[in-house]
Chains A and B, each alone.
Chain A
Amino acid sequence: AQSVTQPDIHITVSEGASLELRCNYSYGATPYLFWYVQSPGQGLQLLLKYFSGDTLVQGIKGFEAEFKRSQSSFNLRKPSVHWSDAAEYFCAVGLFTSGTYKYIFGTGTRLKVLA
């Protein structure tokens, strides 16, 4: 069955430190890949996406992600974290299942930023 795994439920980093959030998926083909951020009381905002082509994609707010087919991974990175990045981050895959296109979300990673 298709699944999306975010191994880290909580991550704490100091402001200015680098960040990497992990995402692995299980799917027979290459799905469409997304990272969303959810701030407290807010909806989901798209950070970046991967459909095809260059495996390193740039997003908003200084985030980037790298697709690695061999590892079925799409990890999110930021070189220097800001206090405002504290939020919950969701990896999602878009794929066809039973003839219908839909998203499957990972369980999320809650990021805490220390001043």
Chain B
Amino acid sequence: SAVISQKPSRDICQRGTSLTIQCQVDSQVTMMFWYRQQPGQSLTLIATANQGSEATYESGFVIDKFPISRPNLTFSTLTVSNMSPEDSSIYLCSVEAPLSWNEQFFGPGTRLTVL
């Protein structure tokens, strides 16, 4: 399995500001994914980040609001820009399992509260 860490684990932010969430994996992975889990809701895929190429965003999510970087095979960042209270969620990163491409391992998540 892969060990995934996220920073920060939680944060409280003011409306209109931006927050960058980091995701670090202990092994090299091709595909990384970012999800949003709104309060009491399920997980919704924001985008897929493949190293060396632009992230692919799902319907309803745009790069200006959620810019993603993927500088190498073990690291990615998600920025939540110009935040509003509606962005209050848990943001999780996941990675394609090293030996099982159709399976994902998840990080512990970043709990974001926007005031």
Is the C-beta of A102 less than 8 angstroms from some C-beta in chain B?
yes
Stretch at the interface among A21-29, A38-46, A72-80: A38-46
Known: A44-B92, A105-B43. A94 touches B103 (CB 8 A): yes
Contact of B102 among A32, A36, A45, A100 (CB under 8 A): A32
Does residue A34 face the partner (Cβ distance < 8 Å to B)? yes
For residue A98, give the distance in angstroms from its CB to the closest CB of chain B: 10
Using C-beta atoms within 8 Å of the partner chain, give the interface range for chain B: 20 to 34
Most buried by B among A34, A49, A51, A105: A105
Contact A103–B104 (Cβ < 8 Å)? yes
Residues of B within 8 A of A32 (CB): 102-103
Q: Give A49 to B99 CA distance when docked, in angstroms.
A: 14
Q: Mostly helix, strand, loop or mixed at chain A's interface? A: strand
B residues within 8 A CB of A36?
106
Q: Mark A89-114, 1 if CB is under 8 A from B, else 0.
A: 01000100000111101111000000
- Residues of chain A lying within 8 A (CB to CB) of residue B45: 102-103
Contact A102 B48 (CB under 8 A): yes
Query: Which residues from chain A contact B104 at a C-beta distance below 8 Å?
Result: 94, 103
**A94 near B92 (CB under 8 angstroms)?**
no
Q: Please, which residue of chain A has its CB at the minimum distance from the CB of B6?
A: A43
Would you call B92 and A34 a contact (CB within 8 A)? no
Chain B contact residues, CB within 8 Å of chain A: 4, 33, 41-45, 48, 56, 92, 94, 101-109
Question: A-side interface residues toward B, CB under 8 Å?
Answer: 32, 34, 36, 42-46, 49, 51, 90, 94, 100-103, 105-108
